[in-house]
Structure 1
């Protein structure tokens, strides 16, 4: 009798441990698949960034590219790659617009058309207006001869360009706001949360992508790398420092894994990384960018270094805020990710949350500084 009981107990215990082994193996396979997916997606994203930098390089006219390639590319070649550069940025932008439509309006194709059209105008109009200044000679005609002076001519041309450029941004913004609120009204989804969220996200995402385009065309691939690094350094260093030393939760209701120790320590490391990158280039504060490859050549120019330090601090803080803001929106709408196109990485909006904030901020710095110093924005 006792032997039967013992045998039954052994059988039950063996079955129990077999189930545990099966579950553990299943979990391990799941982790392996997740790791493989994340690795593949990371490789794809890295290749995409390389293409963005490459297209920006081929459409660039700054001193940096002229040092690397002695003979400048033909103008037609640069026009083609400028357009390709805009379209390679536009591709993920379209997916981001689809994700916005889905979490606000569901699978309503009519609202999707409205979002795509208004978002596309917001993205393309300012960038195409700049390309028209650069390659089509728009506003380069001289003023009437009776009033002509070379200095006056340049200032009038620049002023006209600035008016058109900011006019396209403002017009696109107004069209987007009107379209968004009309759609919310027609679908009867115009509650406070939807109105606030949709108007905000349909400003920051198109403006961020538009800024990404204009920075690459106007300020070159060197500044694009600076912006990429400001996001990557911040994300990676905050994660590692938080993993090692994090104790105090930063915003547990929004992003449970973020800690103050990770944010502060990671930000310091990210700022140092950006300063090291900047030391490889001759910094030009009035141009809000970098000019030539010259290791530590600008170390004595304290104005430039103060500018780059302040910009680095600003972009690192904005990168963290962008991540938290998009996480807050997800919590409010009870969604884990904005999309599934990147599988375990989520959607496009999950990947560009910090980037659109950073590019928007850098573009704002670019516009403000150009108005404060004696420097032509499109000169």
Structure 2
């Protein structure tokens, strides 16, 4: 094992699961320095071993995963990957953990646990290594655009709206992965309704989570947000979230509305939905202001799509390194030379509105 291998603490109340996870991580080049059976032990292990990353179960006796995340982020901020049940209830609690500072999550399989987890071993190792590189320093949360109490900046959109006049809506395609849900929530929550944007959101997450994510965005913003179901048509002030396991494609545009469809074409960059698919189809189809936004995340998804948007005359924004949990996706887009502005997460909503105005007035 490399001397630079990330050091991990594995937290789960099941001895079997702790052993299984530890073995998979060790086999994948991650050094497990300690395991813990509950949240209290996790806090102690992090304090004593100072790991690069923690895998955290949610449901545990005494101190559960949510409380453990809160304690760790207050005591010694450390990148945390939640291990979540693949259920709607599991999704709700997982989003709470992300709000408290966890970077990302990995779904526990049901059924024959050992067989399914082994099949997902490579994916788990990649995600743990990516989360280990995340920046969880205190300065990053301020750039998300959230309020001090953790609420999103939905009211901020109103102040932006009063300062502008919008002649026409535009189309915005947002790409996001590791560390992204709270950033997306803040960005969408800050967009004014009277900008009349049509927003498509591709956040890498499984199918049990995208519906709940859409509900959260709907509650946090002035926009009508829903999970795409196939054959959707959206107009200004509406947003669609690509469902887990399916690509979201812009199939037509006209009369101020977009027509979309879902496909089960092969994953791109190992993910489905892939932002590249949505962005390419938007670049080929949308007539009018078009903005691509590449937010925090590991990998290269969104870079080729952003380039397609730029080639079609649209504008491209990327989140900056300082406010990104993982600077993989924005960095790849920047390296392609297609990014017009690199912005802190909190500046992205204004950047979107500026980009739409530039295109409208061009």
Q: Where on the TM-score scale, by shorter chain, does this alignment land: which range?
A: under 0.3
Structure with bigger helix share is 1
Q: Normalization by structure 2: what TM-score?
A: 0.26
Greater RCO (Cα-Cα under 8 Å, separation 6 or more): 1
Structure with greater Cα Rg: 1
Structure with bigger strand share is 2
Q: Normalization by structure 1: what TM-score?
A: 0.25
